[in-house]
A and B are shown apart, each in its own frame.
Chain A
Amino acid sequence: MIQVQNLKKSFGSLEVLKDISVNIKPQEVVVVIGPSGSGKSTFLRCINKLESFEEGHIYIDGVDIADKKTNINKVREDVGMVFQQFNLFPHKTVIENIMLSPMKVRKWSEEKARQKGMELLSKVGLGDKADVYPDSLSGGQKQRVAIARALAMEPKVMLFDEPTSALDPEMVGEVLGVMKQLAKEGMTMIVVTHEMGFAREVGDRVLFMDGGYIVEENKPKELFGNPQHERTKAFLSKIL
């Protein structure tokens, strides 16, 4: 589904991703953990090319996004992303937020987009919020709308960048619940998170990143129960 080969990325003289290679299979849920500044967000943002990268290749469904000839907009249609800060469009109602891209990018009719939007809103438990503006929602509700908005494009992969980090603790559960449901339905997901419970429960694989490398990767049970590298041990001892 996604092949990352020798990915390297710098911001000016700061080398953030030094040599990242990883394959992600269809329907796999991959959880990315690691200390602050280790390059987790940058890695995720390279996958839909919100960040350009200097070296390496990323194939999404066989399409090389490093290739200049690749139409990145087309690729992004199939790669949903959920941000820590939600990034809902404040000038549009909840349902308009969800309908915008299917209508403008996928060229769906308004009825089709609305129907899909309402379907997704009830799926994330917000069927009654369709016509309110994002400002009136709680953080957890905003993030669930953001997930619905990404899903409306019917993506093949979903990227989550610390989707619960900006939430009050009592709202974390509702968002993780939606994500677990999504994983169960077979969505391919890459999730950057500090929620180790989530990683254990739904992760097929955990990547531990540090200093621009994937230091260690394994099944959650193995990685948490029996970390091989010193740095992994040190990190886990701090957060567990």
Chain B
Amino acid sequence: MDIRFDVIQDYLPYFLQGMGLTIGLSLIGILMGSVMGLFIALGKMTRFKVIQFPFIWYINFFRGTPLFVQILLIHFGVMPIFMSPVNPIASAIVSLSLNAAAYIAEIFRAGIQSIDRGQMEAARSLGMSHVQAMRYVILPQAVKRMIPPLGNEFIVLLKDSSLAAVIAAPELMYWGRAASGATFRVWEPYLTVALIYLVLTLSLTYVLNYVERKLATE
């Protein structure tokens, strides 16, 4: 088997461009997902069953169905209500954020519930409202415990953003398929793309391990 380095060379600028969008999509996904996730987690944890219900089913839906299906539904079903023509990057951002929010909500909930009950009781006994106790006592401790699983979710998101290729959002995987289709080559484009994903996820793992060690010694 001969390797055609010229294919890699020709498409490298596009791969790097796609990598930029891949990083962008997963960063926005994790940020928006965190904001929405906190909200959903708190919603699921209220005492009122009626309020819990939609949040529980939000989480069930986005964790219980394939992201692939969600992307198609959102791009071809939901987004046309708001814009036309539909921008695939916008669809990808919405899908990834909504999906990440469901997973991150569970991370938040687990983090909050892992904090000893006595912490909330002590805060409340000092006259703090539930919101104040959450904000000054519970969440600062919970967030620290959430960093490892959040990092994990970031890595998953980075890889799963490749599914946005199916709606032609020009991220890394999209360019991999484009290169393969245009050159009729398999190994060169896909291995290059795989290698770039690997570099991204390994770098992220490295950073996360560093942060975790840093937090552990604090």
Contacts and interface: CB of A to CB of B under 8 A. Distances in A.
Contact of A74 (B122, B125, B127): B127
Interface in A57-82: 73-74, 76-77, 79-81
Given A90-B141, A91-B140, A91-B141, A83 B126 contact: no
Given A89-B137, A90-B141, A100-B136, A105 B127 contact: yes
Given A100-B136, A104-B136, A91 B126 contact: no
A50 B126 contact: no
Given A89-B119, A91-B141, A73 B128 contact: yes
Given A89-B119, A91-B140, A91-B141, A48 B125 contact: yes
B4 interface: no
A114 interface: no
A31 interface: no
Interface string B169-191: 00000000000000000000000
A198 B125 CA distance: 24
B118 A83 contact: yes
A101 B124 contact: no
A104 B121 contact: no
Contacts of A153: 126-127
Contacts of B137: 89, 100
A106 B132 CA distance: 12
Interface string B86-124: 000000000000000000000000000000101101111
Interface residues on B, range: 10 to 19
B128 A105 contact: yes
A76 B133 CA distance: 13
B170 to A, nearest CB: 43
Nearest to B121: A50
Given A100-B136, A104-B136, A85 B125 contact: no
Contacts of B124: 50, 73, 76
Interface string A83-102: 10101111100000000110
Contacts of A17: none
A87 B128 contact: no
Interface string A140-178: 000000100110010000000000000000000000000
A87 B118 contact: yes
Contacts of A150: 125-126
A50 B122 CA distance: 10
A76 B127 contact: yes
B209 interface: no
Contact of B132 (A80, A81, A104): A104
Contacts of B144: 91
Contacts of A146: 122
A87 B136 contact: no
27 contacts: A48-B125, A73-B129, A76-B124, A76-B125, A77-B126, A79-B125, A80-B125, A81-B122, A83-B121, A83-B122, A87-B118, A87-B119, A87-B121, A89-B122, A89-B123, A89-B137, A89-B141, A91-B140, A100-B136, A100-B137, A101-B126, A101-B127, A101-B128, A105-B132, A150-B126, A153-B126, A153-B127
Given A81-B122, A101-B126, 10 more contacts: A50-B121, A50-B124, A73-B124, A76-B125, A77-B127, A83-B121, A87-B119, A88-B122, A100-B137, A149-B126
